[in-house]
Each structure stands twice: as C-alpha cells, then as structure tokens.
C-alpha cells in the first residue's frame, strides 16, 4: 500500500494588506469626497467654470500633499512607539530573563494552555527568539502589522490624486449648467465602486462597504453645497 501523499493547505489571509489598504482606501475616498464637495460647493456659490476647475486642481495637489504628510507623521509616530517598546523590552530581557519568561508563561496560561505546557512553550520560544516572542505575544507587534510610514504616505498621496482626478475629469468635460448634478452623481458612483473594491479586498461585505462610503460622501457634498449656496447668496 502506497503512503498517502502529503498535501499542502494553502491559506490566504488579508491582514498583510492592512497597512497599504487602509491608506489607499482612505486616500481615494478623501480624494473623491473632498474634491467633489469642493467643486459642488464652489459651483453652488456661483463661480465660473474656469475658477471651479482651478480650485479643484489646487485641492488635488494640496490634498495629496496633506495626505502624504499626515500619514507619514502619524504612522511614523506609531513606528517610534513600537521601537521604544522594543528597546525597553530588550533591556528587560537582559536584566531579568527569568521574570520575562514567567511573564510570557502567564500570557500563554491566560490564552488556555496548561501551566506546565505554557512554561515549556515560553522557554522554547525565548530560546529561539526571545525579543520576537515578547514583541508578538506581549506587545502585539508583528511583521505583518508593523507601521510602515513611507508605504502609508505614498499609498495615501497616490490614491488621493487618483480619487480626486475622477470628479475633476467630470468637471472639465461637462457644461456649467449641469456641473453640480453631474459631479455629484458620478462621484457617488465612484464612491460606491471604491467601497465595493475595498470591501472585496478586505474580505468584508461589499454591500455594506459600498453603502457606507456612498452615504458619507453624499452627506459631505450636500453640506458643502448648502454652505456654498449660503455664502454665494450673501456675496
């Protein structure tokens, strides 16, 4: 009798996408919503077609740079915190490895292992990579979830520019008299597609993802249009 061939069990998880996916979705969503809202608001205030287009282009450039800077600073702050925690943990491992072993053992006990087995697991993992074991199981820091400031900044800036370019293209192509409904309608469609794609990439409900971004986009455009109408009437 031939031995059964061993088969692999490939698994595809999505946690490795969290960093760039969050930044890309946030950037594209902000690009569409902020630029469409800006165009609709300025148009509602009675500005000319050329002024509206120039305002939208300026919003694209400023928004992309703002997204890149904001993502880099915020994610870099997270990375600095992670490095500080790792440095502190490294010092504690050098000063009192026995206490750190007991600490790791207690963590595994709370997760359901028997005390003796938890002690053995802690010893073996610390022998293999003590800092890695504590980073992952005590601090919650892993390679997949670690902060990547440059990646987040580039993803946000690029996706914002792409998202903002969509309502700007509509603005450039449609006549002034149909500008507001055209930009608003197409932007809501773009947002629905974005919500669908991001939910699909993240393994979530596509209907919920599409509805969520579309609702908030519609609300943002409506409020901005109301503000533009109000200040345009005052002027």
Q: What's the distance, Cα to Cα, between the start and end of the chain in Å?
A: 90
Task: Give residue 1's pLDDT.
Answer: 42
| 66 contacts: CB under 8 Å, gap ≥ 6 | none
Q: Phi and psi dihedrals of 46, rounded to 5?
A: 95, 15
Task: Give residue 21's pLDDT.
Answer: 65
Tokens linked to 188:
């809501």
Distance of CA 140 to the CA centre of its chain: 19
Task: Give residue 233's pLDDT.
Answer: 54
Task: Give residue 4's pLDDT.
Answer: 47
Tokens linked to 111:
């997760």
Task: Give residue 146's pLDDT.
Answer: 59
pTM: 0.68
pLDDT mean for each 10 residues of the chain (235 residues) = 47 49 78 93 90 93 91 82 82 85 87 87 84 79 67 85 94 92 93 84 77 89 89 59
Map the chain to HEC letters. CCCCCCCCCCCCCCHHHHHHHHHHHHHHHHHHHHHHHHHHHHHHCCCCHHHHHHHHHHHHHHHHHHHHHHHHHHHHHHHHHHHHHHHHHHHHHHHCHHHHHHHHHHHHHHCCCCHHHHHHHHHHHHHHHHHHHHHHHCCCCCCCCCCCHHHHHHHHHHHHHHHHHHHHHHHHHCCHHHHHHHHHHHHHHHHHHHHHHHHHHHCCCHHHHHHHHHHHHHHHHHHHHHHHHHHHHHC
Task: Give residue 179's pLDDT.
Answer: 93
Among residues 32, 14, 17, the alpha carbon closest in space to that of 193 is found at 32
Residues 206 and 200: beta-carbon distance below 8 Å: yes
| Tokens 């594209």, located at residue | 28
Among residues 66, 36, 14, 18, the alpha carbon closest in space to that of 213 is found at 36
Cα 52 from Cα 108, distance rounded (Å):
60
């Amino acid at each position: 009798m031939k031995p059964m061939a061993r088969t692999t069990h490939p698994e595809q998880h999505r946690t490795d996408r969290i960093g760039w996916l969050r930044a890309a979705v946030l950037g594209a969503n902000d690009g569409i919503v902020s630029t469409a809202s800006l165009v609709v608001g300025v148009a509602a205030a009675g500005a000319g077609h050329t002024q509206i287009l120039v305002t939208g282009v300026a919003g694209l450039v400023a928004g992309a740079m703002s997204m890149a800077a904001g993502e880099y600073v915020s994610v870099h702050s997270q990375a600095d915190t992670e490095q500080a925690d790792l440095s502190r943990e490294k010092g504690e491992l050098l000063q009192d490895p026995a206490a750190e072993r007991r600490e790791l053992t207690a963590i595994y006990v709370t997760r359901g292992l028997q005390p003796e087995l938890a002690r053995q697991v802690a010893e073996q993992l610390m022998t293999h990579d003590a800092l890695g074991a504590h980073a992952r199981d005590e601090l919650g820091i892993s390679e997949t979830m670690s902060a990547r400031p440059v990646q987040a900044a580039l993803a946000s800036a690029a996706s914002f520019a792409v998202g903002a370019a969509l309502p700007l293209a509509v603005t450039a192509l449609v006549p002034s008299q149909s500008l507001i409904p055209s930009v608003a309608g197409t932007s809501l469609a773009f947002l629905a597609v974005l919500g669908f794609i991001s939910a699909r990439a993240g393994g979530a409900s596509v209907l919920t993802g599409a509805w969520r971004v579309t609702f908030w986009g519609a609300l943002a455009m409506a409020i901005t249009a109301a503000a533009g109408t109000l200040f345009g009437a005052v002027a």
